[in-house]
A = this chain, B = another copy of it.
């Protein structure tokens, strides 16, 4: 696409004009090329950026402040594409409500070390420790071998995720793709798990007679 007026930007991106104006005022979307005092022309980069903003707002449910942080890093051309995507991905973790317990943190660190998953200070590792604490608090602590089996299964899931990611395009498009794919596949996985639970449960009952 060449450059277009705001009405066509709205059509192409599916974002209503008043919302685009709001994103411009808030500094989430960069200005177009001014054409006189009140009009501007927009291009493909605006469409891509709007796509990332919508993924972060509508699908990830991030606050505008966090969206702004992510979009700024992803738009920074001095940041390598891989790091941009990683930065967006880290922001998908909810901000921790309370610090996880030392026990849960140590379990997660041991798991990461054992699998040689060289992540330090990952927001998702903190979220995992919190989730383990929740199970403890509910009186249903997760056994080590169950945690290991879950980690194996989710590694297979991540391999599938990365295979469908394909070649990273520009940072903005790739970040939107990863955010959308990561989040919208979660309900697919959760439903599949529940369906598999019922199917296995049913089979078990039939076998028991």
Contact = CB atoms under 8 A, between A and B. Distances in A.
B143 A196 contact: no
Interface stretch (A19-27, A42-50, A61-69, A121-129): A121-129
Interface in A186-201: 186-201
Interface stretch (A2-10, A30-38, A154-162): A154-162
A128 to B, nearest CB: 4
Total copies of this chain within the assembly: 2
Size category of the binding interface on chain A: 35 or more
A189 B118 CA distance: 19
A106 interface: no
Interface of A: 55, 59, 82, 85-86, 89, 92-93, 112, 115, 117-119, 122, 124-125, 127-128, 130-132, 134-135, 138, 140, 142-143, 146-147, 149-164, 177, 180-182, 184-202, 204-205
12 contacts: A89-B198, A112-B199, A124-B195, A124-B198, A128-B187, A131-B184, A131-B191, A140-B184, A150-B157, A150-B189, A153-B189, A158-B196
